[in-house]
Amino acid sequence: MSLYLGFDSSTQSLTGIVLEIGGSERRVVFQRSLNFDRDFPHYGTQSGVLPHADPLVATSSPLLWAEALDRFMGILARDSKVDLSRLRAVSGAAQQHGSVYLNIAAAAGLGRLDPRQPLVAQLSGMLSRAEAPIWMDSSTTAQCAAIASAVGGNDALARLTGSRAFERFTGPQIRKYHEQDPSGYAATERIHLVSSFLASLLIGAHAPIEPGDGAGMNLMDLAAGRWSGVAMRATAAGLDRKLPELAPSWSVIGRLSRFWVERYGLPPASVIAWSGDNPCSLIGVGLVTPGRIGISLGTSDTLFGLLRAPRIDPAGASHVFGAATGDYMALVCFKNGSLARERVRDAYGLEWHGFSRLLRDTPPGNRGAIMLPWFEPEVTPPVLEAGVRRYGLDAGDAAANVRAVIEAQMLATARHAGWMGERVVAIHATGGAAQNRAILQVMADVHGAEVRQLAVAESAALGAALRAFHGEQVAQGREIGWEEVVAGFVEPVARVRPDPSSVAVYAGLKPVYAACEAHALGRGPDPTPLVEAFRSGLDPD
């Protein structure tokens, strides 16, 4: 039986999962997470982010991610109790959009890593920029406007790359770096995504980017699967020489380098191209055919589904990425996910247990009380100035605020996913908060669809391990369908069914929520009469 290792280097943690697969025998044999704040306190991150005076700026440390990878491999070799000589392939997922800047020393340095020394001590001389901007950054509005205008507008950019210009996307981030630190940009020989940076550390050479994660940069011609000359020129001078190559998602990009083999006694297993956490989650929740959607409740909340052909959101709020199957994926990202839930939990001195109890004990519809939980600048809908808005909601009422944050998040996923055109019959739920059944009940009721809870909550790491398996099979010349790849790992362990009376309540609340959102964005009248009409059970018309 062979072993396959999948990583997820997310905002807050590094998770690794080892799968054992032999025919229909399939199981998870090892799983471990390292938390960045807790296990690597010397970097000083908070929820995985370095402190900054400017609330729009969000960065993290590439050295932290590398140190976590090194420590994880040590734990795997020491604690896993599995015969690692059977490890055939490794792949990974990483938080999307973040970028790592390496200098000329990296190409040779990556190939000469000394297995007797910690990885991190050998990397600092290879970075041309100490920090990596990450997906939570919203400081590049000016650069977004400049890039969009240079390619003929945001509609043209969305048709070309799958998304209009977004602050957190890599292209606008690179442009900002080029403008603000031209000498640092000039000293940069290669710009990696978090995914291709970590893959480079594994193979001891610059790794390629794959199209799932490459589509999150505003730089890739989505339909052609190539870097776009127009987009690169609109972003920064000389960028075509600094980007890694693009390679198909299932490519074997190298083998575990001598560093890993000698340091931890690992075999020289194949390394399959790393991808973004969302494209890997698509596989890890089993969405290998169209018609169902996934919702991930992680640091960000995301809603996603497989598309056979690229289709663009006319409202410009969402993205189309490449999918590991060679198809496409639609994605809507909400920044105020778990951290917003935690802010409400902590504001009322609750633990998750008490939070869930208040959620269960309050009525669906919350008597019309609505919160817009924009604790941080929001991606969907775009909100640059953070600030929580409350309509008909008393900030002192703990129970109503708990329900309000969850209902708002679920109503937002329903409101901003309509463009995908899929009638949602089932939702595959994943991410840290998907273990919370009270939250999943609100999800089922708002969407009027069954929510499936999966055995492995870490869908991005699981998807990466399954991609490692698939890539290795393809490399061996074996034809394997994606249904067969995911079989045995993505069957639901529980189904949360919608309650018809609650579904009816939310049908009435959706227009109230939409009116509150429009008002908060400065695009609609005061929704108070609608809130009051909902509360008194009167038809607002």
Residues of this chain that bind ligand ADP (CB under 6 A): 10-13, 298-299, 338, 341-342, 352, 431-433, 435-436
Residue among 57 and 359 whose Cβ is closer to ligand XUL: 57
Tell the residue number behind the tokens 């072993």, with chain if given.
3
Residue 96 interaction partner, one of ligand XUL, ligand ADP, none, beta carbon < 5-8 Å per kind: ligand XUL
Identify residue 420 by its one-letter amino acid code.
M
Q: 332 near 259, Cβ under 8 Å?
A: no
In 3D, which of 383, 446, 439, 445 has the Cα closest to residue 411?
446
Q: 369 near 322, Cβ under 8 Å?
A: no
Residue 352 interaction partner, one of ligand XUL, ligand ADP, none, beta carbon < 5-8 Å per kind: ligand ADP
135 binds ligand XUL (CB under 6 A): yes
168 binds ligand XUL (CB under 6 A): yes
- By the 10 Å C-beta count (0-12 exposed, 13-18 middle, 19+ buried), 396 is classed as exposed
Which stretch of DSSP H or E encloses residue 303? strand 301-307
The CB-of-539 to ligand XUL minimum distance in angstroms stands at 39
Question: Which tokens is 57 given?
Answer: 């700026």
416 binds ligand XUL (CB under 6 A): no
Residue among 461 and 531 whose Cβ is closer to ligand ADP: 461
- By the 10 Å C-beta count (0-12 exposed, 13-18 middle, 19+ buried), 499 is classed as middle
Residue among 12 and 195 whose Cβ is closer to ligand ADP: 12
Residue among 37 and 189 whose Cβ is closer to ligand ADP: 37
- Strand, helix or coil for residue 490: coil
- Strand, helix or coil for residue 340: helix
Asked if residue 381 has a cis previous peptide bond (ω within 30° of 0), the answer is yes
Question: Which tokens is 248 given?
Answer: 């198909």
Q: In the stretch 201-220, what mask flags binding to ligand XUL with x, by CB under 6 A?
A: ---------------x----
11 binds ligand XUL (CB under 6 A): yes
302 binds ligand XUL (CB under 6 A): yes
In 3D, which of 376, 377, 408 has the Cα closest to residue 390?
408
Of 96, 218, 441, 453, the one binding ligand XUL by CB under 6 A: 96
178 binds ligand XUL (CB under 6 A): no
Question: Which tokens is 388 given?
Answer: 């929580």
Q: In the stretch 223-262, what mask flags binding to ligand XUL with x, by CB under 6 A?
A: ----------------------------------------
Of 137, 277, 458, 472, the one binding ligand XUL by CB under 6 A: 277
Q: Which residues bind ligand XUL (CB under 6 A)?
A: 10-11, 95-97, 135, 168, 216, 276-278, 300, 302, 331, 333
